[in-house]
């Protein structure tokens, strides 16, 4: 219990110091967990072709600085959150207006559940795509993030594996929610975690 109190104290002290612009995601707000209905992207998936599902979209500049483009997270299927190694192939497909202008395969071992946002973290004018992965095991829901630098060969430049851990349904051990505020610091994502009680 003491560890929890210390963590909560830290969060309360540190969180207000963050400039709102720097905050990318706040998992303390449960609405962050609301998943979009992927049916909305079915027409996009049909345009891309090849029997794929589109798991999310983010806006940004992906092929050149200043471009107004949309990156779609495209997958052969919706990755299972109970399989630690889902067998899916995923890509980022870039559109400018109605035109598909790039199609970049993500690393083979990737199984992301959605695209969250895009930010130019390193300041080169090209937005990095922030993707989320979810995993469910023994009643515990875990969410992690990956920063992907885009281009012909997308590369995962950073991972934050545990930005959200909900063990409220675990039935044993510590029943709580570990929820992080994810923010930009020195060109990287950083996080501060708070322990919240189960609802």
Residues that bind Ca ion (CB under 5 A): 120, 122, 124, 126
Q: Which is nearer to Ca ion, 64 or 108 (CB)?
A: 64
* CA 13 – CA 191 distance, rounded (Å): 14
Work out how close the CB of 65 gets to Ca ion at its nearest, in angstroms, rounded to a whole number: 9
Q: Where is 7: in which H helix or E strand?
A: helix 2-14
Q: What separation, in Å, do the N-terminal and C-terminal C-alpha atoms of the chain show?
A: 17
In 3-state terms the chain splits into helix, strand, coil percentages (rounded to 5) of 15, 45, 40
Q: Which is nearer to Ca ion, 53 or 115 (CB)?
A: 115
> In this structure, how many other beta carbons lie within 10 angstroms of the beta carbon of residue 11?
19
Work out how close the CB of 178 gets to Ca ion at its nearest, in angstroms, rounded to a whole number: 29
Work out how close the CB of 60 gets to Ca ion at its nearest, in angstroms, rounded to a whole number: 9
Work out how close the CB of 187 gets to Ca ion at its nearest, in angstroms, rounded to a whole number: 9
Taking alpha carbons only, the member of 137, 135, 138 closest to residue 146 is 135
Q: Which is nearer to Ca ion, 127 or 178 (CB)?
A: 127
* CA 11 – CA 92 distance, rounded (Å): 35
Q: Which is nearer to Ca ion, 121 or 165 (CB)?
A: 121
């Amino acid at each position: 219990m003491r560890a929890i109190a210390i963590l909560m104290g830290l969060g309360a002290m540190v969180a207000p110091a963050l400039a709102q612009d720097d905050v990318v995601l706040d998992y303390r707000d449960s609405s962050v967990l609301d998943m979009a209905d992927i049916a909305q992207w079915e027409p996009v998936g049909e345009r891309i072709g090849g029997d794929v599902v589109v798991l999310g979209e983010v806006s940004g500049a992906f092929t050149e600085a200043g471009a107004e483009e949309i990156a779609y997270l495209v997958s052969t299927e919706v990755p299972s959150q109970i399989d630690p190694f889902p067998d899916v192939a995923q890509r980022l497909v870039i559109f400018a207006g109605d035109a598909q202008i790039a199609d970049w395969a993500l690393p083979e071992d990737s199984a992301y559940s959605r695209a969250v946002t895009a930010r130019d973290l390193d300041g080169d004018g090209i937005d990095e795509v922030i993707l989320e992965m979810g995993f469910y095991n023994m009643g515990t829901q875990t969410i992690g993030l990956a920063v992907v630098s885009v281009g012909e060969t997308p590369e995962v430049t950073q991972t934050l594996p545990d930005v959200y851990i909900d063990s409220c349904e675990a039935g044993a051990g510590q029943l709580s929610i570990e929820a992080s505020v994810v923010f930009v610091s020195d060109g990287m994502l950083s996080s501060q975690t708070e322990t919240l009680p189960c609802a």
